[in-house]
Amino acid sequence: MAMLSLTLRSLLNRRYTALLTISAIALSTALLLGVERVRVEARAGFAQTISGTDLVVGARSGQVQLLLYAIFRLGNPTNNMRWDSYRAIARHPAVAWSVPLMLGDAHRGFRVLGTTPDYFTHYRYGRGRALEFAAGQPFADVFDAVLGADVARQLGYALGHDIVISHGTGAVSFVQHDTLPFRVVGILAKSGTPVDRTIHVGLAGIEAVHLGWEGGTAPRHAPTAAAVRAMELTPQAISAVLVGLESRLALFGVQREINHYAGEPLTAVIPGVALQELWDLIGVAERALLAISACVVGVGLLGMLTAILSGLNERRREMAILRSVGARPLQVFGLLMSEAWLLALLGAILGVVLLYGALWLGRPLIEAQWGLYLAIGPLAPREWAVLAIILGAGTLIGAVPGYRAYRYSLADGLTVRV
């Protein structure tokens, strides 16, 4: 207790320098913990870009490629799967629900996804969260469209707006399906998933705009919207299928059956496994960001070392007086170690306070802008380990000025240097 009291008095005597040192450690600690919290939540959010879906099925390909075009709308399938194959999967006794997906067109750089209204019922993301509508409702007519949040915000579209989709997936296309425009009937709330950058229409709508395109070129006489609505618009092929099972116990059995489907070569992937493989491919950025944050903490601790060392020469008389009243060299060493430990401790505590303050203030904005949910809960074991490392490093840093003070002699401290 006597050493702690002496340490507190010593720091209060140099309160301004101590406050600056504590602030530097606190900011660097808050940054490192914040990056760690964002990293963990971003990884969890990435792994839960799609949740509640047991299998994603498409034409034979690699599982990452299938996940990229079916979930992230990146790239195109090497081949489509037949509608008959989709119906066979949908009728499987172990399948509770299935949602077909059709890709191929775009609008001003945003992918157009053909699907069914069941998509808005069964698609889940995050921790089982369902898609929500910020305005409007799911599509019901052949030429209804539902926009993702980013599409509506960036293009300035509202309910009732007419949009024309383009043939192909490029941001610029010279082939427009302008004879059959779609009308915006719904806008989804921000989810932080590829859904935000997707335009959703019915499978019948995709079939309608491609009537007469069998040869790969636009038809000379396109049918009218009224005529199209009277047609049977069942697709012949689709890009992929989202599948939910009656029981997770049947997962591997159904996956094996689909992978060995006799009708055509298909691939069924478990989204969580494929997402983990994809994250491992792009995890370099995650590790780089964490390394940069660790370097910032190191800079903060070095700043503390610099502050203590720079003031040590001015404190030589103080150390000598302590020695003259009976303080042993080890006690002087302990005083400097205690100061460094207390600075690191106060900086770490203030850093945690800053972290939770930033989370409380910034969480609504972050979730609204990027769809990233940051949980405000107790520190995780990994975060406690980070704090322990910071505290230990700060204490060890105090050994450098402590050792120098330990070597000071009484005569050296009382000598007036000119």
User: How many domains would you assign to the chain?
Assistant: 2
Mean pLDDT of 306-314: 64
Q: Are 30 and 139 contained in the same domain?
A: no
Domain end (from 269, 299, 322): 269
Q: Within this chain, do residues 345 and 233 fall inside the same structural domain, yes or no? A: no
- Do 30 and 60 belong to one domain? no
Domain assignment present for residue 278? The answer is no
157 in any annotated domain:
yes
Tell me what percent of the residues of the chain surpass a pLDDT of 70.
77
Q: What is the pLDDT of residues 5-19, one digit of tens each?
A: 656 666 666 677 778
Is residue 67 in some structural domain? Answer: yes
Whether residue 277 lies inside any domain: the answer is no
**24 and 75, same domain (yes or no):** no
Q: Could you tell me if 197 and 225 lie in one domain?
A: yes
* One domain, residues 34 and 145: no
Question: Strand 110-115 vs strand 198-202: parallel, antiparallel, or unpaired?
Answer: parallel
pTM of the model: 0.68
More confident residue, 379 or 305: 379
Looking at the fold, whether 364 and 344 belong to one and the same domain comes out as: yes
Same domain, 41 and 86: no
Residue 279 lies in a domain: no
Give the model confidence (pLDDT) of 315-326 as tens digits.
656 666 666 666
Instruction: Pick the range with the lowest mean pLDDT from 192-206, 229-243, 397-411.
Output: 397-411
Expressed as residue numbers, the domain containing 212 is 55-269
